[in-house]
Chains A and B, each alone.
Chain A
Amino acid sequence: MAVIADIVTFLCLVGGIASMLIGSYGLLKLPDLFSRMHAAGMVDTLGLGLIVVGLIVQAGISLVSFKLFLIIVFVLYTGPAVTHALAQAALNAGVKPLLSDDERQDGS
């Protein structure tokens, strides 16, 4: 049983770290603010979520895992709202997405 828990934790941690790496790489490489936010979302939700799930499996059913679960709940709850606020603020400030419709017509 402990072995299965260890394997699940291992897979979750590796998956979480991989998503964080991919997200960070995208954050550096993608061309404009909106696509970068898309990459950053992967770090927030998938990366952090998988790592915390892995830790919950290790902690078993206890107060610690409940607190870890609350972390997931609050990150999943606030993350999209923050992303929304950031995108809204960028649009209000006049930042245009790189691949907006008029832009694409110019390019083709």
Chain B
Amino acid sequence: MIELIDTALLLIMVATALGFVFIRNLFAIVMLSGIFSLTAAVLYVVMDAVDVAFTEAAVGAGIATVLGLVALSLTGRPDEAPSKRSNIGPFLVTMLTGAVLINATFDMPNYGDPEAPAHQHVAPRYIQQSGDEIGVPNIVTSVLASYRGYDTLGEVVVIFTAAVGVLALLGRRRRATAESRRGAGSAVEGMTGKSILRVTTKLLIPSIMLFGLYVQFHGDYGPGGGFQAGVIFAAAIIVYALLFGTHRARRVISPGIVRFVLAFGVLLYAGVGVAGLLLGGNYLDYNVLAHDPVHGQHLGILLIEFGVGATVAAAMITIFLTFAGHDRPMEE
């Protein structure tokens, strides 16, 4: 039965990938990429990787689709005509790479094989001892936030860098054309006059935010954590900006505060590491944060998850508002 579901999901993913190749309409391709991510999320649920599925659904199917649509509205959606050039070269390269990759899968261990290297190295320790060492029911959270704290710090820095990059590329030009914008109108003007949508959204936004906070602080006990919570929280702000316009969204949550939170999250994460150093432990060693090692782990995970959530939410809001508030290049 599981094989049947897996096969069906993988076939849907193949069909979606073929859609990327053959469809020329960029709008449809953005929607297809959302469908692709959602199918991947369902596949992860079938594999019992609920945390990964949650992230894929929130980031891949949710925010990435919205950002893709905003990017399209920014660039004016030029539907590219099929090129007349021969595609034989790229086709051969793709087929060759695919053949090598498929060949490589024959060396991989079977799905769920207990002898697989991934289940031999450190995984037994995580499963057997994380309950005593970390004391957090969700093993994924203890691996992500404590055992693999360095990797997660790196991921947060990557997200921070992406937001800073968007600001550096688009943020400055927006300020330079602040006068012309009033005449030209920004890419996302807000759907004014849609009272049904406005009322619905106004009632919906508080529950989205509440759900974001639940995911943030319940990550120790169930699927969730800073990454998902940050994206969900940002989604509430983005929905507001879509319906009421980016100008009003800027007044509700000022870009200065968002930028402060963006840096604050990374600093909080790195600061917890430095605090560990000052208290006599290693960098990102939470055991020394409190008198009891397990309490220290709890405190450390809570703080760094909060840092992750703050940076992710601020980064998504920054990218969206910078994209959406930017002038269309054609109208400049």
CB distance from B124 to the nearest CB of A (A): 31
Chain A's interface size range is under 10
What are the residues of chain B within 8 A of A74 when measuring CB–CB?
Answer: 207
CB distance from A66 to the nearest CB of B (A): 13
Partner of B194, one of A77, A78, A85: A85
A81 at the interface (CB under 8 A from B): yes
Residues of B192-211 whose CB lies within 8 A of A: 194, 196-197, 200-201, 203-204, 207
Secondary structure type dominating chain A contacts: helix
Residue contact A84 to B204, C-beta cutoff 8 Å: no
Question: How far, in whole Å, are A81 and B242 apart by their CA atoms in the complex?
Answer: 15
Question: How far, in whole Å, are A81 and B201 apart by their CA atoms in the complex?
Answer: 9
What are the residues of chain A within 8 A of B201 when measuring CB–CB?
Answer: 81
Residues of B147-206 whose CB lies within 8 A of A: 194, 196-197, 200-201, 203-204
Partner of A84, one of B196, B203, B207: B196
In the complex formed, the residue of B with least CB distance to A92 is B191
Given contacts A74-B207, A77-B204, A84-B196, 12 further A-B pairs with CB under 8 A are: A77-B200, A77-B203, A78-B200, A78-B204, A81-B196, A81-B197, A81-B200, A81-B201, A84-B197, A85-B194, A85-B197, A88-B194
Interface residues of B (CB under 8 A from A): 194, 196-197, 200-201, 203-204, 207
Which 10 pairs show the lowest CB-CB distances between chains A and B? A81-B200, A84-B196, A85-B197, A81-B197, A81-B196, A78-B204, A88-B194, A78-B200, A84-B197, A77-B200
